[in-house]
Chain A
Amino acid sequence: MPNDASWHTEAATFGAYLGARELPAEVAERYQMAVQDWRSVGFDRFDDWLLHFAAGHRFQTSLADAYSRLARPYGDLRRRLTLMLALLENHGTTHAPYDRAEPSGAARAWLALALSAAGWGLRTLLATAICMPAHVLLSRGRPRRA
Chain B
Amino acid sequence: MARHLVIGSGASGVHYALTVLQRGEEVTLLDVGFERPVAPLPDATYPQLKEQLDDPLTHFLGPRAEYVVYPAPGSKPYGFPPNKEYVFRRAAPWSLRQQGFDPLVSFARGGLAEAWTGGSYELDDRDLAAFPFTLGDLQPHYATVAKRVGITGERDDLERFSPMSAPYDTPLPLDPHSAHLLALYHKRRRRVNALGVYFGRSRVAVLTRPQGERQSCTALGRCLMGCPRESLYAPSYTLRELHEFPGFTYVPSVFVDRVLVDGNGAAIGAFGRHVRTGEELRFSGDRVVLAAGALATTRIYLATMLHEQGTAPELSGLMDNRHVSMPFVTPVFVGRDVALASYQFHHVALGMRGASPAGDVHGQLTALKAAQIHPIVSSLPFDFHTSLQVFRRVRAALGVANFWLADTRRTRNVARLVSEHGVPPHLQLHYADDDVDLEHTRAAITTIRRALRALDAFAPKSQTTILPRGSSVHYGGTLPMTREEAPHTCRPDGSVRGFERLLVADGAAFAALPAKNLTFTLMANAVRIASAVT
Contact = CB atoms under 8 A, between A and B. Distances in A.
Interface of A: 17-19, 26-27, 30-31, 33-34, 37, 62, 65-66, 69, 73-74, 78-79, 81-83, 85-87, 89-92, 95-110, 112-113, 116-117, 119-120, 123-124
A106 B337 CA distance: 11
A81 B384 contact: yes
A132 to B, nearest CB: 15
Contacts of A26: 55, 57
B265 interface: no
A87 B381 CA distance: 21
Contacts of B50: 90-92, 95, 99
Task: Give the interface residue-count category, chain B.
Answer: 35 or more
Nearest to A95: B50
B430 interface: no
Nearest to A99: B47
Contacts of A107: 335
Given A85-B377, A91-B57, A113-B394, 9 more contacts: A18-B384, A30-B61, A78-B378, A86-B69, A90-B372, A101-B396, A104-B393, A112-B393, A120-B385
A110 B386 contact: no
Contact of A82 (B53, B68, B383): B68
Given A101-B396, A104-B335, A66 B61 contact: no
B382 interface: yes
A107 B54 CA distance: 41
A95 B384 contact: no
Contacts of B384: 17-18, 65, 81, 85
B455 interface: no
A89 B309 CA distance: 57
Contacts of B356: none
B64 A37 contact: yes
Contact of A100 (B52, B338, B372): B338
A69 B382 CA distance: 7
A43 B332 CA distance: 42
A103 B65 contact: no
Contacts of B51: 92, 95
Contacts of B60: 90
Contacts of A106: 332, 334-335
A90 B56 contact: yes
Interface of B: 46-47, 50-53, 55-57, 59-61, 64-66, 68-73, 332, 334-338, 340, 370, 372-374, 377-378, 381-386, 388-390, 392-396
Contact of A101 (B55, B336, B374): B336
Nearest to A110: B334
A82 B56 contact: no
Contacts of A18: 384-385, 388
For the residues of A in contact with B, the DSSP-based class is helix
A139 B60 CA distance: 37
Contact of A99 (B64, B340, B381): B340
Contact of B338 (A85, A92, A101): A101
Given A37-B64, A83-B68, A100-B338, A65 B377 contact: no
B334 A69 contact: no
Given A74-B71, A74-B73, A113 B385 contact: no
| Most chain B CB neighbours (cut-off 10 Å) among A19, A87, A100, A101 | A101
B398 to A, nearest CB: 10
21 contacts: A17-B384, A26-B55, A33-B65, A66-B383, A73-B71, A82-B71, A82-B374, A86-B374, A87-B57, A87-B61, A89-B374, A99-B46, A100-B392, A101-B336, A104-B335, A106-B334, A107-B335, A109-B334, A113-B394, A120-B383, A120-B385
Contact of A103 (B47, B70, B332, B335): B335
Contacts of B377: 85
B65 A89 contact: no
B506 to A, nearest CB: 36
A26 B56 CA distance: 10
A102 B386 CA distance: 14
A123 B386 CA distance: 10
Contacts of B338: 100-101
A86 B61 contact: yes
| Most chain A CB neighbours (cut-off 10 Å) among B57, B69, B383 | B383
A116 B335 CA distance: 14
B381 A108 contact: no
Contacts of B73: 74
Contacts of B393: 101-102, 104, 109, 112-113, 116
A28 B59 CA distance: 17
B374 A119 contact: no
A1 B50 CA distance: 32
A146 to B, nearest CB: 18
A86 B47 contact: no
B373 A116 contact: no
B305 to A, nearest CB: 44
Contacts of B53: 92
A108 B335 contact: yes
A90 to B, nearest CB: 4
A17 B385 contact: yes
Given A92-B53, A117-B386, A120-B383, A33 B71 contact: no
Given A78-B378, A112-B389, A34 B334 contact: no
Given A95-B51, A106-B332, A79 B70 contact: yes
B359 to A, nearest CB: 37
B278 to A, nearest CB: 31
A110 B395 CA distance: 13
B68 A86 contact: yes
A86 B382 CA distance: 17
B57 to A, nearest CB: 5
A110 B370 CA distance: 23
A119 B385 CA distance: 10
B457 to A, nearest CB: 15
A39 to B, nearest CB: 13
Given A33-B64, A113-B334, A82 B70 contact: yes
B385 A65 contact: yes
